[in-house]
Structure 1
């Protein structure tokens, strides 16, 4: 892999730079999303639709703990990128050291708490009835590997902040490929069922951690830490926390959404309806990978150039990122509107020996997914403005507007909508909440982004 210096973030043409940053990010997110998607297909076909629902119940808890690492990573990387842009290498090193220490401390405490309250958390997130037992198996095993995942999430954002997106891409590909291989081995060959699915996920986290550790210990990284860099520094911790809280709050709200959705849908249609949402949730992770890739590629470019006070390049990075992400989102929208039934059919298969109840559950899920998927993704062409706008404020270190805009879609609009609309429209009320929240949050974010550009980025 060609060596790339962080300084190139401030000199190369924005379009070329965004493509170079976004393509590896998109490929990495694609492979991770495919991993989640294929993992669900394997679990659905080899274990059953209830197993997919069980994993969906566990995801918000494990993802929240992993998001602690991501939030520390993104918050610290914003500081790190601006420090490198302003040629303050000492601060960059101290920030990275604090990121590692803070990630370890926080995630280990959260894992201990998560295991202690296991029998309370699983039912609270919709793990009721037949879902509880497989969810508990998966939750217990996966939670042990979550600190490794948190360190991977944190390290990946730092690799990207150094201007080395290809290495960050590989860090996302390795665990994804490893998980699929271990899925096949543990579930299909060894017939370990939910235990196999859980150990495959945990093993993939450790593979990712091993690669990230190698990167920072090798000559590929410009950040060579000293022992004193790991000592916690209060001003840096405050800055990491204020910016990282944006990402953490987003994931916390996402976990609340999972909790509400699983319980609301369980009340509307039992375990089968939870399975419908589980598959839709996988598509939400997978289908938008190019848009998320552009957003990830945009962050270090905006941070570095803002730190270097190159306002014209910052403005250009915003407009270019929105154009690229919107075009890709429109392509995704068309595919999902045309092929929802075919996509749903990939997840579930009728295996020999399946009970009549399992066959009925599969039929229910396949019948309900196409209409639900069309509603959920109805506003996809406009979401780029919301994602890039919220990411911009985080990239430049403005924590408060970043937090408010990040929470706009799910916190301010979506949660109230799913609490109210199903009372009047039933299942349809759940699904139409998605596009309404997307449109409203895009309008709000677009207004504040335009105002910020006019006020702060004038030449």
Structure 2
């Protein structure tokens, strides 16, 4: 048994969750930081139109990240299960196909978005005043998207291999360079949104170089090669499992596009949404980190059929996710105005944003079971359930409710804000019912294993 395999089977679950969640949380935090730092500098130098331009590009960035996560989550889950079964040959093929799929999707997408950026940005809500700035930003930010995608892939594989330090260092390098270059290009060189986009793309490229170098070293035992051929039998399970993760990431962008359209005619509403969305995304970093850390641990134990340990993994993950979410919720409710002040100085905007933000996160802790459930069913390889959960909260519940409240009940901005807690409650109830049923099935599997072990013991004694 390799040392990497041993930690999944024997190390304390709480220790594993902390060990794996820290780099994931850090990576997610920096991913949000990339967008936040650009907004911070652009907002101070250019003002409202600059923030508006970045806000319009934001949904496109989320979709790019979502496609990257689809491949990385699907590959790491398939790899963890294969590695748990000690199938080195299949593990090698999974890594090769996942890496190849990443750039085979991202390169054509980048080319398409670059040459069709004006039409795409108009669809996502860019006005005449914002469109030129949005085009400048998107045109340059796209050059780093391929490297960002591959870095996300490598980070998830590093965690699946039990080595989380590479992800932390790679992310740190990119973050530091991005902040420095943003300060130079936006504040001192007066390059505006172009400077912010250039800083982000360069930092993503440098972070990728470090991650890829270590990826090649870490995967030597699997003799991974850079192959250009794709195996349908491997690609399909990767895509099916990763679809739910894709939806979780992409639905943020889709939701923002819909809400921006619902708030048309209210400059204050669009400004408030643009500001609080930056803060709102940070609330999910720790929660998603814990749930994501559980996934390779659960997937490995599913592969090795250690159901007793799997049940313990689920219990502790749900507990840690709820406790951390409650702490984050309390801090956010108390210091909402202070968080808003990071981006804006206008007293009226701060007041309206803090009010809307507190409504949005009013039941935030209950959503923990929703995210844990999504990642658990991904680990199980249950694509249908994980996809259903993924689309339920924002696409199936929040968007229809917000449209009904704004258009049907004429609640305006308030309809948008209260659609968040309503959706959180409904999605969490559905997730709880599914995970409770899964727990009952695990109990049956554990009892069967105990009976088999008991029978074997009696046979040996006789």
Among 287, 294, 305, the alignment partner of 2:283 is 287
What is aligned with 1:324? 320
Displacement of 1:28 in angstroms is 3.1
Q: What aligned pairs does 1:127-142 form with structure 2 within 5 A after superposition? A: 127-142=126-141
Give the whole-Å Cα distance in 1 for the aligned partners of 2:288 and 2:243.
19
Aligned residues: 442
Residue 421 to residue 391, structure 1, CA distance change in 2 (3 Å): same
Report if aligned partners of 2:89, 2:222 keep a CA contact under 8 Å in 1: no
Cα distance in 1, alignment partners of residues 116 and 423 from structure 2: 32
Query: Which range moves more in the overlay, 285-294 or 174-183?
Result: 285-294
Question: Would you say the 8 A contact 1:74–1:157 is kept in 2?
Answer: yes
Q: Distance in 1 between matches of 2:218 and 2:364?
A: 41
Report the counterpart of residue 338 of structure 1 in structure 2: 334
Q: Give yes or no for the alignment of 1:380 onto 2:364.
A: yes
Q: RMSD in angstroms over aligned alpha carbons? A: 1.9
Query: Max radius of gyration: which structure?
Result: 2
- Aligned match of 2:381 in 373, 394, 397? 397
Which sits farther off after the overlay, 230-239 or 323-332?
A: 230-239
Structure 2: gaps (5+ residues): 447-462
Residue 139 and residue 35 in structure 1: after superposition, are their counterparts in 2 closer, same or farther (change >3 A)?
closer
Structure 1 counterpart of 2:440: 454
Q: Which residue of 1 aligns with 2:95?
A: 96
The equivalent of 2:453 in structure 1 is: none
Q: Pairwise mapping of residues 71-220 of structure 1 onto structure 2 (< 5 A)?
A: 71-219=70-218
Where does residue 23 of structure 1 map in the other structure? 22
Equivalent position of 1:313 in the other structure:
309
Change (3 A) 1:113 1:32: closer
Q: Alignment partner for residue 348 of structure 1, among 344, 347, 355?
A: 344
Aligned match of 1:243? 241
Paired with 2:248 and 2:214, the residues of 1 have a C-alpha distance of: 28
Report the CA distance shift for 1:287/1:38 in structure 2 as closer, same or farther (over 3 A): farther
Question: 1:313 & 1:405 partners in 2: Cα distance?
Answer: 24
**Alpha-carbon deviation of 1:221?**
6.2
Contact 1:39 1:183 in 2 (8 A): yes
Does structure 1 conserve the Cα–Cα contact (< 8 Å) formed by 2:62 and 2:250?
no
Match for 2:417 among 419, 427, 431? 431
Helix, strand or coil for the counterpart of 1:140? helix
Do the aligned residues in 1 keep the contact of 2:140 with 2:201 (CA within 8 Å)? yes
The 1:290–1:388 alpha-carbon spacing in structure 2 relative to 1, beyond 3 Å, is same
User: Which blocks of at least 5 consecutive residues in structure 1 are unaligned?
Assistant: 350-361
Q: Deviations over 1:226-245 (max 9, x none)?
A: 35x55311110111111122
Change (3 A) 1:33 1:65: closer
* Segments ≥4 residues shifted beyond 6 Å: none
> Within 2, Cα distance between the matches of 1:32 and 1:249?
17
| 8 A Cα contact 1:50 1:275, kept in partner | no
Q: Which residue of 2 aligns with 1:302?
A: 298
In structure 2, relative to structure 1, the CA distance for the partners of 1:429 and 1:77 (3 Å cut) is: same
**Which structure would you say has the larger RCO, counting Cα contacts within 8 Å and 6 or more residues apart?**
1
How far residue 321 of structure 1 moved from its aligned partner, in angstroms, is 0.9
1:97–1:231: 8 Å Cα contact kept in structure 2? no
Q: Which moved more, 1:35-44 or 1:95-104?
A: 35-44
Q: TM-score under structure 2 normalisation?
A: 0.91
CA contact (8 A) 1:216 1:224 kept: no
